[in-house]
Structure 1
Amino acid sequence: MATFHLVSGPIGAGKTTKALEIADQTDAILLSPDQWMHASGIPLRNSEVRTYIEQAQLKIALLVLSQGSDVVIDWGTWGRAERLDIISRVKAEGNTVNGYFLTPELSVLMSQVETRESNWRISDRATPSEIVDSLENFENPQSDELLEYAEIWFSGCEGF
């Protein structure tokens, strides 16, 4: 049985940093649309390509899990319905799911996005309104969802 690490949070929450840390600590395969898009020269705001990549990465993740290796995904997974669907698919194959929720305050998000985009030399920067929207649209996990995880890690998630 393998472990699927689901990292969730708004734009700039530190998902990539956390996902890299998990991958390093667990030898999990890291799947990140941002990294694939950046390496391919595709604008990070291209939602059509992002959706396609996430669908492909989920198929790859299920294949990797079936071979007994752990996987960590670095997606936004803002919505509970999306997370519950992913959890259902992963657990149907007999795997465990660990959840990681990152929701820092808006000022931290703004700072982290500026640092990331400067370091990556990203031309299609996230706008302040996109960052605010991502924070406002992030759905905190509820008790029914939390019961689905083997382990849960929170950062900046006061109020659960």
Structure 2
Amino acid sequence: MSAIHALHGFIGSGKTTLARRLEQDLGALRFTPDEWMTTLYGADPPADEYPALLARVRALMHSQWTRAVTLGVPVILDEGLWTRASRDELRAQAAALGVPLTLHVLPFDPPTARERVAARNDQAGAHFVAPATFELFLPRFGPLTADEEPLQRIVRH
């Protein structure tokens, strides 16, 4: 049955680990922007080009995952959905497609996330996140708000 499973969490929260597990458990297609970026543009693309490159990847992924759900295939969207606006947009897309949305919420724990990102940065071929970038992005993360909770199915991890 077609469904959208989206992940809400910060860098290093365990989104991709959970997405891989859900992919297997649900027989779903997984869309992980970091993996696409690394495959297409390397582990650490130039910072000044990154936004445009990511926009291309997201546009391509969007066309693929929306096609998949219209064909009845469940999808895993391994995005962070850091902002209320991004979550509202996804809820609207799911409604327009007539597909149920489950939001998987991962804990927001910056010290643990820093450790995970540092360990991941040491792995060959992994998507690199500089410590300064992590700190720059930290205040941009917007946790799920109480008024959002009734708007879709929520699973806390």
TM-score in same-fold range (> 0.5): yes
Corresponding residue for residue 17 of structure 1: 17
Q: Secondary structure at the match of 1:147?
A: helix
Structure 2: distance between partners of 1:15 and 1:120: 19
Q: 1:133 to 1:147 in 2, by over 3 A?
A: farther
- Report the CA distance between 1:95 and its aligned residue: 0.3
Mapping 1:32-111, distance limit 5 Å: 32-42=32-42, 43=44, 46-111=50-115
Give the share of equivalent positions with the same residue, in percent.
22
- Report the CA distance between 1:144 and its aligned residue: 3.3
Task: Provide runs of 4+ in structure 1 moved above 6 Å.
Answer: none
Q: Secondary structure at the match of 2:6?
A: strand
Corresponding residue for residue 132 of structure 1: 135
Aligned: 1:142 with 2:145:
yes
Structure 2: distance between partners of 1:30 and 1:143: 28
Structure 2: distance between partners of 1:116 and 1:130: 14
Which deviates more, 65-74 or 4-13?
4-13
> Which consecutive residues of structure 2, in runs of 5 or more, have no partner in the other structure?
none
Aligned length: 153
TM-score (norm 1): 0.85
Q: Secondary structure at the match of 2:133?
A: helix
Corresponding residue for residue 119 of structure 1: 123
- Report the CA distance between 1:66 and its aligned residue: 0.3
> Which consecutive residues of structure 1, in runs of 5 or more, have no partner in the other structure?
156-160
Deviations 1:132-158 (A, max 9, x none): 3333211111233222212x1224xxx
**RMSD (Å), alpha carbons:** 1.9
